[in-house]
Amino acid sequence: MPRDDTSSVVVTGVGLLSDLGVGFDAHRKALLGEGAVAPQVENQGRTRVIALARVAALEALGGVAPKGRGLLVAGTTTGTIQESEQAYFAARGAGTDPLERMRRHPVGELAIALAAELDLDAECHTFVTACSSSSNAIGYGALRVAAGTPWALVGGVDTACLMTKAGFHALRLLASGPPRPFDVNRTGVALGEGAAFLLLESRAQALARGARIFGEVTGWGCAVDAFHQTAPDPKGLGAIAAMRAALEEDGAAVEEVGYINAHGTATPANDKVESLAVNALFGGSRPLISSTKGFTGHTLGAAGALEAGLTLAAFADRRVPPSKGLADPDPACDVNHVPPSGAPLGSPLALSNSFGFGGNNATLALRANGSRAARARAVARPFRAFVHGLGFVAPGVIGCEALRRHGEGPYQGPVELPRQGRLARLERMALHAAREALGGTSSEGVGLLVGTAYGRLDAAGDFLEGLATRGEAHGSPFAFYQSVYHSLAGELSIHLGMRGIGLTTSVREVSGESALRVAMDLLSARKVERVLVVGADDEPTPGAAALLLSSEPSRQAVHSCELYRVTATEPSRRHPVGGLMEIVATLARGQSGNVTTRGTGGIEAQTFVTSSP
């Protein structure tokens, strides 16, 4: 629908923390070759991830909490793993349960804890799509601001930890020296620690309060490879789809793009595939391209937001940075590399790419402030999502028909599902529920939203146990990949052939409702025509639920799903995705009503559903 320029989504705050220093200006100067000062951030009683996130978030906010109820979306890969892995080894040595710390501090606590730390009145979501986490957080935040949310604090953070270092070493992706993106002699990823957050609001609101405008978020693309757990699709189809979707949302032709901040991890496969994808989409237009990971290292879940911030810095200086470490370009990476001394920014439109494990590809379209006339953009509105399929798995209850026969009592008994290759029980439960909800219909064009509180907690334990018994240089690559929260969505996309939008959310006991809320917003904004929502966890008891949603009418509907920060209480149910299971159970039994879920850490979800006979 048409809009005027005052309704565009602008960036009014940028907070950056990396090996280049602390602050937007420090990063600008470092990109221009004026030196970098590695930050010294004291935890001061906080977990390391909150200590880093707090610094970047406060800078983005300008030290002042914004007015009105807004949105906080934090992207991460490992969350509080630094403290959790230390506690794992300590508990193992003491003979107690080594996984207990991870149960008490799941990844999904990040957004809730950060909102509490900053005293923000915000709806909270944690996105865990590996290295694309914070790019997806920014894209979703822009979608919500376009729909009328007063403000969105969006970004990501990840800390240095043994698990990540040993995991990349196990995959043989860790660099033997400084990173050399796109270089013929590149050897892999150099890991970095960092945090980055952006404050988004409408241009009208920014102008009214006289805020500084750093740039505009004009497009977001997300697409899943459905190819392999860790390796990119060699044809680059997911990367192409993500870039194309971001450009379509912006309304620009490929010729208008002046610069691409590449994912550019300096691994042999990633740089080659990204170059192939860029050439396939852009053809002869050949925009300038560089990877800033040579400056910052790969900051994992923070990378997308950090690189978006560095792209905004390039707008401020009208100059794009080179790929630090690139000396001898690989002929297989035949793109228009930024010269070693940098280059003038010709066009005010740039793309920022982030590609993660599980084949999750995300691209942001960013524009310099005031660089274009207003364009039409679909925005999310209050919306009723219609239910076209349900799936359910619980102890002793496999499928919705068994659920209807079961009645209202507790779920007890074994989860009897057939073995399927190397899939763990969590993955088999989620796959069974997903297939039941799809009901044999095509998965083409269907988005995938997965909510999980713990993911493959068992795989994280297996990986750390392997390090304890075999040494830090002998971690299991299979266990490392499985420990990544987005691995569940990756497996589902591969087995179901789903190549559209794919996101994983984790918000303690309301993880399922978080996925549901995001899915409804994607439908309302017409980012997808159909979306499959799957909630699954194997801790402390197994269970999975799924809903196939569409804007096409049906007799069952989800009318609203709201998440709130509340006074911290104990959860109302033990199962992490019990709320989504209760929603499915309500609809499967032909009932209607409001489902309320309270989670630890001060989070509540309220969902209203109806089922007409």
298 catalytic residue (yes or no):
yes
pLDDT in tens, 116-135: 999 999 999 999 999 999 99
Active-site residue among 124, 125, 131, 333? 131
Options 298, 486, 495, 575, the catalytic residue: 298
Domain match, 392 and 273 both: no
What are the CA-CA distances from residue 90 to residues 46, 101, 106, 460 (Å)? 19, 10, 18, 16
Q: Given pLDDT bands bounded at 50, 70 and 90, which one contains residue 382?
A: low
Q: Rounded to two decimals, what is the model's pTM? A: 0.96
Whether 376 maps to a domain, the answer reads no
27 belongs to the catalytic site: no
Alpha helices in 10-96 (DSSP H): 24-31, 48-61, 81-94
Q: What are phi and psi of 501, to 5 degrees?
A: -60, 135
pLDDT at 277 over 80: yes
Whether 294 is covered by a domain: the verdict is yes
Residue-wise pLDDT tens digits, 450-505: 999 999 999 999 999 999 999 999 999 999 999 999 999 999 999 999 999 999 99
My answer on whether 396 and 275 are in the same domain is no
Q: Is 263 a known active-site residue?
A: yes
User: What's the pLDDT tens digit per position in 201-227?
Assistant: 999 999 999 999 999 999 999 999 988
Residues 148-171 pLDDT 10s:
999 999 999 999 999 999 999 999
The vertex-406 CA angle with 402 and 409, nearest 5°, equals 145
Predicted local distance difference test score (pLDDT) of residue 372: 67
Q: Is the pLDDT of residue 573 over 70?
A: no
| Alpha helices (runs of H) in 234-363, residue ranges in sequence order | 237-250, 268-282, 293-296, 303-317
pLDDT at 102 over 90: no
Whichever domain contains 461, its CATH number is: 3.40.47.10
Q: What pLDDT score was predicted for residue 4?
A: 45
Q: Give the mean model confidence (pLDDT) for residues 580-602.
A: 94
Same domain, 504 and 469: yes
How many domains would you assign to the chain? 2
- 179 and 247 share a domain? yes
> Is 396 part of any domain?
yes
Q: Any idea how long the chain is?
A: 613
Residues 224 and 265 in one domain: yes
Q: What confidence tens digit (pLDDT) does each residue in 14-54 have? A: 999 999 999 999 999 999 988 778 889 999 989 999 999 99
Q: Indicate whether 148 and 197 sit together in one domain.
A: yes
**Dmax (CA) of the chain:** 70
- pLDDT of res. 230: 75
In a domain, 374, yes or no: no
Q: What's the burial of 172, exposed, middle or buried (CB within 10 Å: 0-12/13-18/19+)?
A: exposed
Name the more confident of 176 and 229: 176
Question: Exactly one of 263, 406, 432, 486 is catalytic; which is it?
Answer: 263
Residue 215 lies in a domain: yes
pLDDT value of position 255? 96
With respect to residue 358, please indicate whether it lies within any of the assigned structural domains: yes
Residue 60 lies in a domain: yes
Which structural domain, as residue segments, surrounds residue 213? 9-367
Q: Are residues 411 and 342 in the same domain?
A: no
Q: Are residues 357 and 404 located together in one domain of the fold?
A: no
Are 389 and 295 in a shared domain? no
Instruction: Choose between 569 and 535: higher pLDDT.
Output: 535
- Considering the domain architecture, whether residues 354 and 498 belong to the same structural domain is answered as no
- Are the CB atoms for 474 and 166 separated by under 8 Å? no
Same domain, 340 and 396: no
Q: What is the dihedral of CA 331, 333, 334, 339, to 10 degrees?
A: -100
Q: Nearest Cα to 457, choosing from 49, 81, 170, 118?
A: 81
Mean pLDDT of 290-309: 97
* Confidence at residue 375, expressed as pLDDT on a 0 to 100 scale: 57
**What is the helix (H) or strand (E) element at residue 494, kind and residue range?**
helix 487-496
Cβ–Cβ under 8 Å, residues 129 and 503: yes
Residues 281, 407: one domain?
no
Of 367, 401, 425, the residue at which a domain comes to its end is 367
